Structure 1
């Protein structure tokens, strides 16, 4: 027998605001209030910036079930979708990640091949060279240094530029506009301007690829445009998505993962002293689980009534899958708040999401992080923080969590 959740909707003063604040001095852990809601039950109402009260899905099994359910939609234009921030006039679409099948599947298939495990593994030597060259440059420069600007941001930017066929000389332009787009409290007009600037830039690049193909992903999309399978505008929009996702998330994982290991020297020693690729791969999965930098949840809206965890979610109600607390669900991960780079079940995490919308670029992110974590701490064994933890600026206001700066020395 199921109950209908909206019959017991709490009063306005009982509904916590979302996103929630992390505890002072605990920047690596999910918000305490979110953990309390998880302990209380699988579903809870939360209040967003616009006063709407979607459901927060707190537990691992229920999140995976809903993320794999065709009765939930990722379409940001549907009524009831729990948007994380005000939308600009006319909306803001980031290609297929905010679409449903069959259109989502049609567009995603066009960029799947370059991100297969086999194709990405073939890039490992090139990623290694980028990491080594970036470290050479960092070590030849000033000490102390901001690891974000000197290493964490350049490495994935160089990799994604090489893969897409985007000139790295334009990195200041696309990094600046990307930061505005993913900043939760950015002015809608600024977000629109940033998106239009990137869209125009990728459209110009697509024009260049249509005129002259090269061995890169954008040229592959140009082939699709010429064959009539894709419009030029769709191709440019996909380029925006891949460019933003391809450098922002990995850059934040490099910096935040490094800070985490520096705060856990026993775990750092295990990573630095091993020559076992399996240990490095496990450390990457554990840091992905432990940090879950997509910390504002996967957003969906129910398009039919759904029974889950003994309750009924009504069609038109918004859903937020809080992946950060799912990855701390003790029914799945024993001692979930402990960082253990040798944890045997870390790869079960949902840091990349789950279902048809799970992260397309996860093979690339894994290879980049494996190379970085296997190289940085070995080549710079005396790496240390050059600031107190409370002096480090964390990205509490972004859709991707991390640090704005990470002063380090060696």
Structure 2
């Protein structure tokens, strides 16, 4: 494997250490696509061009946590097909090399996010009471099966990017035919209770996360969590945020929000998803999600002129880590980079038969060679 000229230029990216960075700060990466990539022939290479297990490469570069999404019964059109078996296999691999695992329940057969929170097909005709019980049972049973193979996660997200609730329409918080916030809170509580029960039975600690997108939108976060607290949903540990600087507000808005909510609700906070483009080139036939337009949006309010480059990818990530680490009272606990391993491989697209719109935001080049920007995860401690 020959290193490209582009990579050679950035081998010695200067990353300043972050003062008083906690030794147990979560340096995380979502790698939910990994099994799909590997099954379709994707390979990864370390700094020396040697083929290696990507989890080993991540650990060598300072990653101490992986995040995995779980779908109930991925449909035939699939997108990563994040079924239980694949999640289990990756969790076992990560735990064996000393990494922690965050499990992200989508409670769907496909992607769940602010624009869609579709119930699994087998839950479609359940009554509300049955739906609540299904959330509890699926959460409980999944975790107990992982415990049986010594792969219990240390952190669990009950739902993914829950801006508008989950399990629509019963758990939708707004709009026509929505069940409303109270029904959503009941469903969320069922999932949280299941995690608490497993933690107690397994005599371990599992941090629970309630996760929203739009990490710079303080109005959204205060509305949402005020409504949860009103309904006595308090047994969660972490407020999780997605913060992509092209879409989710300025760095100052993000900092204001994450500092404010940590104090208002006396909760730990973590970035569960972030990312940044290292190139504008495209590795496959599907148009990239991030183009120059998104880069320009970041620069409109930024004090530094960023580009789509390996250097800027590292700088952006360092900035986000620093903001989280500086949350008052040590409540900022970590950052997860989203799908940093998602290189362009036929058969490992966002859904069956389609490509990968994320390949220019991975932390590996299109051939699977690790980028120097991944060094940020350890250089923030000691450059």
TM-score > 0.5 by shorter chain: no
State the TM-score, normalized to the length of structure 2.
0.31
Q: Max radius of gyration: which structure?
A: 1
